[in-house]
Structure 1
Amino acid sequence: MLLNPHRCDEGDESALPGGYRRILQIVPSADGPVQVRAVGQELGLEVAVRGKLEPLRAKMTKLDGRGWPYNRPDGRFTACW
């Protein structure tokens, strides 16, 4: 069983763990495409150190691979729903 199901499998973010659901609340509430740094700031992460954002980037990329937020070619994420 996948910890992060494909969007078309469940279609509901309640199937995701809490940290992933928080990311999915932040991305669509932005005024447009959002950078990982902005999501990290909203989550209260230390964004001045690039290495602190890599785990968050990995989570967001994993969600993109499963059909949740869309990772644009410029590295920003947008809501795809």
Structure 2
Amino acid sequence: MIFETAFVTLSKLAEQPQLRFTTHQEQHQELKEKLDESDYKNLQEENEDLKQRILNQEKQKTNLLGETKGIISTNIN
């Protein structure tokens, strides 16, 4: 019953011409074409900045966990 419902739902979706399934790469290319080159470069820089901030936060978290473990082991001993 579930499979029949899913098939009917997918069939109805496929009949709608405004829907188009694309891969991530196709979506990326479409967005790149829509964006002005400078906008695209700015977004890439912002993306790299966010990646770096995430890495820094992960390092801080790791350091804090290490410090916490050190404090706990010192207090136990």
* Larger-Rg structure: 2
Taking structure 1 as the reference length, the TM-score comes to 0.22
The structure with more strand, counted as a fraction of residues: 1
Taking structure 2 as the reference length, the TM-score comes to 0.23
The structure with more helix, counted as a fraction of residues: 2
